Amino acid sequence: MLHPDTLLFIYEVTGDPGEQLPDRPESLVGVWNEDELSYLFFDRAEDVYVEALVSRRGLNLSSRHELLYKDWQTGIPDSGVSVAGLQFVLPDHSSPPDGAILLDPSVVFGDGSHPTTLACLYMLREIAAAFRIRSLLDLGTGTGIVALAGARMGIERIVAIDKNRLAVSTARQNVAANRLESTIQVEQGEARFFVDTRFDVVVANLPFQVLRELSTLRGARLHDFWVVSGISEYQASQIKELLGEQGYTEINYRPDPPWVTFAMRRIDTCS
């Protein structure tokens, strides 16, 4: 786990160095892949190692940055954080409260501080409190925070998806730390390949372009509820229109400028 004052050394590389790095140094925090770029995170300078790696793999080192972990993301304080009636604490907490969720965000999105994460958790809690929810598809799981919260809410079958390898490995570690492997399945892949299986609730905190594609797929109409976040008000209006064409009606809306989160329910499930 990273201390807020840990100095991160971030190397931006054009291309993908792969999952298995040779002579992996202990200082490596993780490798984040984003389209044509990769970001290698270390907790100490590894100039010589990175230069040798990119040369060996035929990659290009674009830039090198130094940044305090607390400036990268808020992180979870030692005392923990309470969100949507749930308590999140670091795995090394000396005495976790009963029912607390152990969560190590590392350098991955999803520590419970971002408005879109908060809104998704609150909307999922409201749906789970009002309806019998047995299954959840968490698209763009990041650290696994929404999936872990869903399990604590009593949801029995959860599939958590992310296309980023570091997010997948981080989410799996958090699932294992909470001994929820029998409830939560974490998979790497693109969201569009997972919507053809029916779930009671889909939570999708994703970029607009991805959400727009998902909203037009035939599988989008299979689910009882959608919780959508990570987009602007204008973009939300477009996604709501597309989901409306699939047979959904809006049941909740939360603006957190510049973000919007909303929930929709399939019309033929409404009483």
pTM for the full model? 0.94
In the block, residue with structure tokens 């909470």: 178
- Please say if the pLDDT value at position 253 is more than 70: yes
Residue 87 pLDDT level (bands cut at 50, 70, 90): very high
Q: Is 157 exposed, middle or buried (0-12, 13-18, 19+ CB in 10 A)?
A: middle
How confident is the model at residue 18, as a pLDDT?
A: 87
Confidence of residue 270 (pLDDT cuts 50, 70, 90): low
User: How many residues does the structure list for the chain?
Assistant: 271
Residue 184 is predicted with a pLDDT of 98
Which two tokens mark 247?
Answer: 């047979």
Mean pLDDT of 206-234: 97
> CATH class for domain 81-269?
alpha beta
Domains of the chain: which residue ranges? Answer: 7-72, 81-269
Stretch 182-199: mean pLDDT, rounded? 97
Is it the case that residue 94 has pLDDT exceeding 90?
A: no
| DSSP letter for each residue of the chain | ---TTPEEEEEEEES---SS-TT--TTEEEEEEETTEEEEEESS--HHHHHHHHHHHT-EEEEEEEEEHHHH-----TT-EEETTEEEE-TT-SSPPTTPEE---TTSS-SS-SHHHHHHHHHHHHHHHHS---EEEEES-TTTHHHHHHHHTT--EEEEEES-HHHHHHHHHHHHHTT-TTTEEEEES-GGGTTTS--SEEEEE--HHHHHHHHHSGGGGG-SEEEEEEE-HHHHHHHHHHHHHTTEEEEEEEEETTEEEEEEEEGGG--
For residue 194, CA distances in Å to 84, 159, 218, 266 come to 27, 9, 12, 18
Q: What is the pLDDT of residue 164?
A: 94
Say if domain 7-72 classifies as CATH 3.30.70. yes
- Give 202's strand partners: 137, 226
Higher local confidence (pLDDT), 101 or 22:
101
Flag whether pLDDT at 63 surpasses 60.
yes
What is the average per-residue pLDDT within 221-230? 97
Res. 271 pLDDT band, cuts 50 70 90: low
Residue 239 amino acid letter: I
